Amino acid sequence: MNRMDHKVCVIAGNQLDVGWMASDNESVIQAAESGDPDWMEKAASQLPFGRLIDPEETARAVNFLVSDDAGSVSDTKATANGSKASGRRWAGKT
């Protein structure tokens, strides 16, 4: 395989890192762990953007990355993380 053959075979992917998302399942988990019906408002008030990530936002980002509009976007890491640290952290705890 010569140098040009290798370049043709290179595959790069895109990555979307999603933070704490306000999904239906997250509501079930938080209700079970904290028992607080206002958990989302309380948690969101402590986040830099004042809210959890909306699942539709994530869907739009994924749709872009897999669309022709993404064009030559390759080997990219995008972060959709409206919180200080990725992942679920509330359950009534600060």
| Residue 90 pLDDT greater than 50, yes or no | no
Pseudo-torsion of CA 62, 41, 24, 60, nearest 10°? -10
Tens-digit pLDDT profile for residues 17-61: 888 889 999 999 998 998 998 999 998 888 888 889 999 988 998
Q: Is residue 26 part of a domain?
A: yes
Considering the chain, what is the average pLDDT of its residues?
79
87 located within any domain: no
Structural domain includes residue 1: no
Question: Does residue 91 lie in a domain region?
Answer: no
In this prediction the pTM is 0.64
Tell me whether residue 4 is in a domain. Answer: no
93 pLDDT more than 80: no
Q: Is residue 43 domain-resident?
A: yes
In a domain, 44, yes or no: yes
Q: Could you write out the DSSP letters of every residue in 20-48?
A: SB--HHHHHHHHHHH--TTHHHHHHTTST
